[in-house]
């Protein structure tokens, strides 16, 4: 029997959602940055948020309005007896960055509660809890950030007609696959970005997008880089969202000219990712993307290279009672 704990701390990684052609159905985890959540036993039932670092004082301390608080409370409901926790959140993923910050907070909270009370929840059960937090952030419980942050790797999200929680399929990741990422220091609100999307799309565009989505899956399974390259095309979200991101067209052009297989918005932006065959190629691509961004926008941006992370959220500290 596992010894009872007084507190547990979990870390959950940032993510790239949509991955160009897979709006709401593809996501991948990256190695950095990450959010951390610590939960400690409390005498009062429910969730009390005692502190948030790294948010500039912008996130709510009220548990029912905070994605980590809502997700933690959903996990606590899996216990028959009323329990309470004190929660602290350390933001490593920038707010409104397009790198899945709200999902990372929600996932880390659920994983920490699961460990603290030795719940042994399945990944599907933890995802269901995390998605309740995502609903607070985006108004819609999309899993393309939460699922890769929890499961790690490159995932496919699919939902059956009568399924309340999406089905998550881990896709193979070719050795060396890496992302170059640049993020101009502007913010894009996820709910507002979803509001830009059209209510309907032309059949021709839909058929092409379905082909790209299937092609990317096939390319990953067969390690066919040319198929991956030709599939990383977004005809649905990118055209109506890219104007909110400074220098997007110049950055994408620079990435493709430097050897990236594809380049698009990470989630709703403003982060822009370029998928590359190796970290070496990604480093060159990242430098060219940075130059293009700096030329039109200035020095206020982040840029980094990350391999696709095979690991999702994890416990980094447990303190016994």
Q: What is the pLDDT of residues 9-41, one digit of tens each?
A: 999 999 999 999 999 999 999 998 999 999 999
Take residue 181 and report the two structure tokens written for it: 């990422």
Q: Which of 177-191, 211-225, 269-283 has the lowest mean pLDDT?
A: 177-191
Query: Is 291 known to be catalytic?
Result: no
SS3 call for 205: helix
Q: Which position has the token pair 């499961």?
A: 151
Q: Is the confidence at residue 1, as pLDDT, over 60?
A: no
Is 178-307 in the same CATH topology as 5-171?
A: no
What is the overall mean pLDDT for the chain? 94
Q: Is the confidence at residue 320, as pLDDT, over 90?
A: yes
Catalytically annotated residue among 134, 213, 238, 277? 134
Backbone angles phi, psi at 136, to 5 degrees: -65, -40
Q: Is the confidence at residue 58, as pLDDT, over 90?
A: yes
Query: Is 192 known to be catalytic?
Result: no
Closest CA to 135 of 193, 36, 66: 66
> For the segment 249-283, what is each residue's pLDDT rounded down to a tens digit?
999 999 999 999 999 999 999 999 999 999 999 99
pLDDT band at 154 (very low <50, low <70, confident <90, very high): very high
How far CA 221 is from CA of 26, 177, 218, 227, 284, in Å, comes to 15, 13, 5, 11, 26
Q: Is the confidence at residue 141, as pLDDT, over 80?
A: no
Q: Is the confidence at residue 185, as pLDDT, over 60?
A: yes
Backbone angles phi, psi at 48, to 5 degrees: -120, 125
- pLDDT computed for residue 197 by the predictor: 86
Fold (CATH) for 178-307: Alpha-Beta Plaits (3.30.70)
Q: Is domain 5-171 given the CATH code 2.60.40.10 in the classification? A: no
pTM: 0.94
pLDDT band at 285 (very low <50, low <70, confident <90, very high): very high
Catalytically annotated residue among 88, 190, 213, 238? 190
pLDDT band at 162 (very low <50, low <70, confident <90, very high): low
Q: For residue 93, is it left (φ>0), alpha (ψ between -120 and 50) or beta?
A: beta
Q: Domain ranges for the chain, please list them.
A: 5-171, 178-307
């Amino acid at each position: 029997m596992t010894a009872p704990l007084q507190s547990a701390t979990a870390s959950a990684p940032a993510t790239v959602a949509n991955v160009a052609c897979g709006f709401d159905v593809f996501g991948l985890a990256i190695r950095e940055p990450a959010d951390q959540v610590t939960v400690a036993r409390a005498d009062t039932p429910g969730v009390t948020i005692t502190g948030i670092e790294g948010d500039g004082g912008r996130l709510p301390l009220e548990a029912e309005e905070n994605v980590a608080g809502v997700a933690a409370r959903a996990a606590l409901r899996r216990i028959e007896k009323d329990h309470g926790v004190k929660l602290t959140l350390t933001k490593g993923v920038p707010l409104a960055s397009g790198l899945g910050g709200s999902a990372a907070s929600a996932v880390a909270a659920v994983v920490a509660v699961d460990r603290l009370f030795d719940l042994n929840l399945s990944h599907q059960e933890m995802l269901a809890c995390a998605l309740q937090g995502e609903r607070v952030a985006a108004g819609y419980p999309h899993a393309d950030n939460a699922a890769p942050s929890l499961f790690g790797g490159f995932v496919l999200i699919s939902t059956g007609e009568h399924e309340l929680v999406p089905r998550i399929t881990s896709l193979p990741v070719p050795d060396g696959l890496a992302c170059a990422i640049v993020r101009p220091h502007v913010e894009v609100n996820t709910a507002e970005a979803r509001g830009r999307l059209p209510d309907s799309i032309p059949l021709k565009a839909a058929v092409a997008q379905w082909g790209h989505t299937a092609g990317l899956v096939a390319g990953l399974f067969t390690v066919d880089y040319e198929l991956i390259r030709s599939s990383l095309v977004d005809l649905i979200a990118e055209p109506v969202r890219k104007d909110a991101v400074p220098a997007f067209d110049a950055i994408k052009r620079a990435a493709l000219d430097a050897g990236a297989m594809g380049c698009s918005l990470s989630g709703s932006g403003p982060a822009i990712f370029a998928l590359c065959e190796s970290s070496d190629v990604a480093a060159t691509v990242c430098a060219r993307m940075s130059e293009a961004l700096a030329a039109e926008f200035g020095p206020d941006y982040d840029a980094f290279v990350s391999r696709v992370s095979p690991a999702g959220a994890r416990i980094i500290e447990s303190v016994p009672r």
